[in-house]
Amino acid sequence: MPSASTIETLTQLSYLVAAALFIVGLKRMSSPVTAVSGVRWAGLGMVLATVVTLAFMGASSLNLMLVIGAIAVGGILAWVSGKRVAMTNMPQMIALYNGMGGGAAGAIAAVELYRGSEHSIVHLTIATIGGFIGSVSFSGSLIAFAKLQGLITKSVRFGGQKFVNLAILLVTVALGFMVVSGMELGAAQGGVPAVSLFFAFALLLGIAMTLPIGGADMPVVISLYNALTGLAVGFEGFVLDNAAMIIAGTVVGAAGTLLTQLMAKAMNRSLANVLFSNFGESSSAGGTGVTGSQKAIEASDAGVMMAYSQKIIIVPGYGMAVAQAQHKVWELAQLLIDHGVKVRFAIHPVAGRMPGHMNVLLAEAGVPYDLISDLDEINAEFETADVALIIGANDVVNPDARANRASPIFGMPILNADKAKNVIVIKRGQGQGFSGIDNALFVLDQTRMLYGDAQSAVGQLIQAVKAAG
C-alpha cells in the first residue's frame, strides 16, 4: 500500500498532466483543422483527472458508488442528448451545459458553506465568491437556454429595472458577508438561513440580469457565462485544494473572458452596454430611417446571374441555421465551383447565436476550411465579387454600421457585402431582422431579394444554375 505522501505526489503529478492536456486541447481548438483532436486531448485530460480523483479520494465505498452512479447517469444523458441534438440547436445546448458547470461549482460552495465554522474565514470567503459566480452563471445560462429554445419569447423589461437588479446584488453581497462572518439571522442554527438566502438571491440575480437581454446579444451572453463558470470552478478548486480544478477553471475563465471581449468588440459595444442596455429586441431598436423599397428577384434569374459569375462570396447567417440549409448551400457552392466560379464563404464573428455558430454548421456540411474566411480576411474581396449571396444574415452586412450615426449598430465592423457588384439576399419576408433594425443593404440599387425559406430558396437556385449550365 503506497504511503500518503506517495499518493499525494502521484495525484498532483496526474493533475499536472491533466492540466497540460487541457491547455493543449484548448490550443488545438483554436483552428477548425485541429479542433476535433483538441476536443479529444481535453477530454483525455478530464478522464485522467476524474479517474485519479476517484482512485485517491479516500471516500467510503457507499460515497464512491454514489459518485460513480452519478457520473454514469450524467454521461448517458449527455451522450444521448449530444447525439440527438440538431446542429441548429447547438447554441442552447452549450448554454445549458455551461449552466450545469456553474451549478456544480455552486453546489460545491454550498456544501462548504453549510459546514460553516469548520473552515477558516479565507476558506469561506473563497467558497462564497465561487458560489456567487457559479449560481449567477447557472440561473443566467438557463434563461439564455430558454430564450434560444423559444421558451421565453420576450425580454422582460420595466421601469427602474437596473435599480432593482442593483438592490438584488447588494442584498446578495450583504448575505455573503453574513455567511463569511458567521452572523446569525435570527435562527436556532446560526448561519444556515443566511446561506440559503445567499444562494436564493444569487440565483435570482442571474435571472434578473439575463431576462432583459435581447436575443441578438446571446452570443456575448453565452460567452460571458462560460467565463464565469470557469472562474467559479477555479475558486472552488482552491476550496477543495484541487490543482486540476484550479488550472482548468482558470484556463476556461481566461479563454471565455477573451472571447467575450472579442465578441463585444465585433459588435462595437462594451460588455456593460450588452448587459444593461435595451438593444436586441425589435420593440426597442426600431427603424433607423432607411428609405427605399426592396426589389424582388426570381430564383431562375438569380441562378443565371450566379452561373455566369466569376466570383461569388456567400455570407451565411442565422436564417441558414433555422432552415437547416447548410447542406443545400454547400451543394450550390459545389455546383458553382464545377461551373468554374470562384466561391468563398464569409463569416462574421457574431453571426448566429453563439461564437463560431456558422463555422460549425459549414463544417457539418463538409465545406473545406480553406473556403471559409473571417471578416478581416475576406472584406477586401467584396469589391471584386460579382455576387454576394446573403443567406439569413442582417446586422453583420448592414452598411448603416459604417455610414449612419443614428443607427444602434453604428461603428460595428461589418462584412462589406454592399461593395459587391450584385447582392442577392435570401430572406423569409420583408420584416426587420432578429435585432429589429432596418437594413440599408436591402434597398440598394444592386440588391435583389429572393424571398422564402433558405432551404427552399437555395434548392431553387441549384435547379436554376443547373438549367443555366
Q: What average pLDDT score do residues 95-100 get? A: 91
Q: Is the residue at 122 inside a domain?
A: yes
Q: Classify 425 in phi/psi space as left (phi over 0), alpha (psi -120 to 50) or beta.
A: beta
Same domain, 328 and 271: no
314 pairs with which residues across the strands?
A: 345, 389
Q: Is the residue at 77 inside a domain?
A: no
End-to-end CA distance of the chain: 76
Same domain, 209 and 351: no
pLDDT of 355 higher than 90: no
CB atoms within 10 A of CB 160: 9
Same domain, 137 and 269: yes
Range of the domain at 391: 299-468
Q: Is the residue at 166 inside a domain?
A: yes
Average pLDDT, the chain: 85
Same domain, 263 and 370: no
Q: Is the residue at 411 inside a domain?
A: yes
pLDDT in tens, 161-202: 889 999 999 999 999 998 888 765 544 444 468 899 999 999
Q: Is the residue at 386 inside a domain?
A: yes
Same domain, 363 and 227: no
Q: What average pLDDT score do residues 447-464 get? A: 93
Same domain, 270 and 306: no
pLDDT of 1 higher than 50: yes
Q: Show which of 276, 311, 335 is a domain's final residue.
A: 276
pTM to 2 decimals?
Answer: 0.79
For the record, the C-alpha cell of 128 comes out as 462564497
Same domain, 413 and 269: no
Q: Please report how many Cα atoms fall inside a 13 Å half-sphere around the Cα of residue 358, on the Cβ side.
A: 27
Grid cell 457507499 in the structure block, residue = 62
CATH of the domain at 332: 3.40.50.1220
Q: Are 64 and 54 in contact (CB under 8 A)?
A: yes
pLDDT of 404 higher than 60: yes
Same domain, 226 and 304: no
Q: Which amino acid is at 463?
A: Q
Q: Are 414 and 396 in contact (CB under 8 A)?
A: yes
Q: Is the residue at 377 inside a domain?
A: yes
> Regarding predicted confidence, which is higher, 133 or 392?
133
Same domain, 222 and 333: no
Same domain, 107 and 249: yes
Same domain, 314 and 272: no
**Residue 395 annotated to the active site:** yes
Query: pLDDT value at position 197?
Result: 93
Query: Dihedrals φ, ψ of 267, to 5°?
Result: -100, 0
Report the candidate in 457, 458, 430, 455 with the shortest Cα–Cα distance to residue 442.
430
Please, which pLDDT band fits residue 58 given cuts at 50, 70 and 90? low
Q: Show which of 276, 308, 329 is a domain's final residue.
A: 276
Parallel, antiparallel or unpaired: strands 311-316 and 447-451: unpaired
Q: What average pLDDT score do residues 66-94 get? A: 86
Query: pLDDT value at position 29?
Result: 82
How many domains are contained in the chain? Answer: 2
Per residue, the 3-state secondary structure of the chain, as one string, reads: CCCHHHHHHHHHHHHHHHHHHHHHHHHHCCCCCCHHHHHHHHHHHHHHHHHHHHHHCCCCHHHHHHHHHHHHHHHHHHHHHHHHCCHHHHHHHHHHHHHHHHHHHHHHHHHHHHHHHHCCHHHHHHHHHHHHHHHHHHHHHHHHHHHHHCCCCCCCCCCCHHHHHHHHHHHHHHHHHHHHHCCCCCCCCCCHHHHHHHHHHHHHHHHHHHCCCCHHHHHHHHHHHHHHHHHHHHHHHHHHCCHHHHHHHHHHHHHHHHHHHHHHHHCCCCHHHHHHCCCCCHHHHCCCCCCCCCCECCHHHHHHHHHCCCEEEEEECHHHHHHCCHHHHHHHHHHHHHCCCEEEEEECCCCCCCCCHHHHHHHHHCCCHHHEEEHHHHHHHHHHCCEEEEECCCHHHCCHHHHCCCCCCCCCCCCCHHHCCEEEEEECCCCCCCCCCCCHHHHCCCEEEEECCHHHHHHHHHHHHHHHC
217, 395, 400, 438: which is the annotated catalytic residue?
395
Q: Show which of 209, 243, 276 is a domain's final residue.
A: 276
Same domain, 369 and 402: yes
pLDDT in tens, 255-313: 888 888 888 877 777 777 777 765 544 444 445 566 778 899 999 999 999 999 999 99
Q: Is the residue at 15 inside a domain?
A: no
Query: pLDDT value at position 289?
Result: 60
Lowest mean pLDDT of 58-67, 278-287, 313-322, 384-393, name the range: 278-287
By residue count, the chain amounts to: 469
Residue 371 CA: distances (Å) to CA of 261, 279, 351, 378: 26, 33, 17, 10
Q: Strand 311-316: give its sheet, edge to edge.
A: 372-374, 342-347, 311-316, 387-391, 422-427, 447-451
Please, which pLDDT band fits residue 130 given cuts at 50, 70 and 90? very high
Q: Is the residue at 290 inside a domain?
A: no
